[in-house]
Amino acid sequence: MAVTVVVGTQWGDEGKAKVIDLLAASHAIVARYQGGHNAGHTVVIGDQKYALQLTPSGVFYDTVTPVIGNGVVVDLPTLFAEIDSLESRGISTARLKVSSLAHLIFPWHQAIDAALEAGRGDAKIGTTLKGIGPAYVDKVRRSGIRVGEVMHLGAFEEKLRARAIAANSELADLGAPAVDVDAVVKNFVTLAQRLVPYVADTVNLLHDARERGEAILLEGAQATFLDVDHGTYPYVTSSNPVAGGAAVGSGLGPRHIDRVVGIAKAYTTRVGMGPFPSELTNELGDALVEIGREFGTVTGRRRRTGWLDTVMLRHATRVNSLTDIALTKLDVLDTFDEVKVCVAYRINGEVVRQYPDTVERLAEVEPVWETLPGWKSSTEGITSFDALPESARALVAIVERETGIPVSMVGTGPSRDAMVVRA
């Protein structure tokens, strides 16, 4: 059976959770491969809405084993708050596995994150202040604490205390308040004890499942243009959300991946700073925010909005080796008089089709538009492609023309069932 990767193709918030939830029904394992609780995945089932930050979206199926892979950084207070919330609503988390190789986030990571962001002044990156970046820094400089270390509680406590004391020196250098070492140790020793039943060798678990012929879904957080290497640096996350990161963050080899589904909104959004060629800063942008409810799941921040940018999608197709695209939130465009699509950039009078390699150059581009008449009718809940209005189908055709790959799914509303699935 296949290994499938789901990756965001814009700046995040593309509706990955809904697509993952749809695909999860035919997979035995759904695994997160990077990021942390800076992710915000929303799943709507019937009249119930679930917002996930760490738990893989496959948790809603009794047949699925949800896995937090080795590439994830794990905030235990958030994880257990999420587990408690799911359990209180009748969703079992007993099948959840957390990689022994994943790194843990601690309060000093969040304190360092906040101090660094405050020190940037007007050059703020727009970090979620969740401690994600500092946790990855500790991982890279080999001073992090991994999930598997909770299996040896005495050694874990000793290392935790030593690392907290060292972190206070870093905070002092940043002019930030120290963390309460004793309180942190007490809290996280308790959390560590609770974590023990979830700890697993997920690398071998995934390989064994694949060799048994079980289907595996690898779930990315954030998105291509937030990737620390391929995104709009420095306005990026601290990990590799691109499909290549799925191999590193899960332990499955690149040749084991069979399908890469790219998720894109029928328009574009981003949170935080950085260039945004197709951005709408007028009443049309405000309408996209209002109709699309474009506020961050994790932060509540208002998202910046703009028309669909297929230059970005072409680049995302290349970087991720996309096999197909899921185009979400088509219904948000139902009331517009016209719908625009950016199909190229103009830089100093020259029309280019390739995505620029620097944010400085990206900031200079002007979009080249292709304009469609608005369809001015409701697409919400439509499940047949032929039932979509002609202009809506034309939008899908532009995406396929510009990327060279098929649009396999079209989202027509927030609910689990509001999706056109094409053969």
pTM value surpassing 0.85: yes
**Active-site annotation holds for 41:** yes
pLDDT band at 265 (very low <50, low <70, confident <90, very high): very high
pLDDT band at 41 (very low <50, low <70, confident <90, very high): confident
Question: What is the pLDDT averaged over residues 267-271?
Answer: 95
- Least confident interval from 124-128, 145-149, 266-270: 124-128
Candidate list 13, 113, 138, 334, residue with the active-site label: 13
pLDDT, residue 119, reads: 82
pLDDT, residue 1, reads: 59
Angle at the Cα of 147 from the Cα atoms of 143 and 150, rounded to 5 degrees:
100
Question: What is the pLDDT averaged over residues 123-140?
Answer: 89
pLDDT, residue 44, reads: 78
Each residue's pLDDT tens digit, 155-187: 999 999 999 999 999 999 999 999 999 999 999
Q: What is the mean pLDDT of the chain?
A: 95
As a whole-number percent, the residues of the chain with pLDDT over 90 amount to 88
Highest average pLDDT, of 6-20, 28-42, 116-130, 190-204, comes from 190-204
- The answer on pLDDT for 39 being more than 90 is no
Helices 390-403 and 310-320 sit at what angle, rounded to 10 degrees? 50
pLDDT, residue 338, reads: 97
Question: What is the pLDDT averaged over residues 319-334?
Answer: 98
pLDDT band at 298 (very low <50, low <70, confident <90, very high): low
pLDDT, residue 416, reads: 84
**Active-site annotation holds for 122:** no
CATH numbers and ranges of domains, the chain: 3-101+199-256 (3.40.440.10), 103-195 (1.10.300.10), 264-421 (3.90.170.10)
- The answer on pLDDT for 125 being more than 80 is no
pLDDT, residue 227, reads: 97
Candidate list 21, 27, 37, 41, residue with the active-site label: 41
Angle at the Cα of 407 from the Cα atoms of 402 and 408, rounded to 5 degrees:
165
SS (H, E, C) the chain: CCEEEEEECCCCCCCHHHHHHHHHCCCCEEEECCECCCCCEEEEECCEEEEECCCCHHHHCCCCEEEECCCEEEEHHHHHHHHHHHHHCCCCCCCCEEECCCEEECHHHHHHHHHHHHHCHHHCCCCCCCCHHHHHHHHHCCCCCEHHHHHCHHHHHHHHHHHHHHHHHHHHHCCCCCCCHHHHHHHHHHHHHHHHHHEECHHHHHHHHHHCCCCEEEECCCCHHHCCCCCCCCCCCCCCCCHHHHHHHHCCCHHHCCEEEEEEECEEEECCCCCCCCECCCHHHHHHHHHHCCECCCCCCECEEEEEEHHHHHHHHHHHCCCEEEEECHHHHCCCCEEEEEEEEEECCEEECCCCCCHHHHCCCEEEEEEEECCCCCCCCCCCHHHCCHHHHHHHHHHHHHHCCCEEEEECCCECCCEEECC
Each residue's pLDDT tens digit, 238-249: 999 999 999 999
Each residue's pLDDT tens digit, 51-108: 889 999 889 999 999 999 999 999 999 999 999 999 999 999 999 999 999 999 999 9
As a whole-number percent, the residues of the chain with pLDDT over 70 amount to 99
- The answer on pLDDT for 124 being more than 80 is no
pLDDT, residue 46, reads: 78
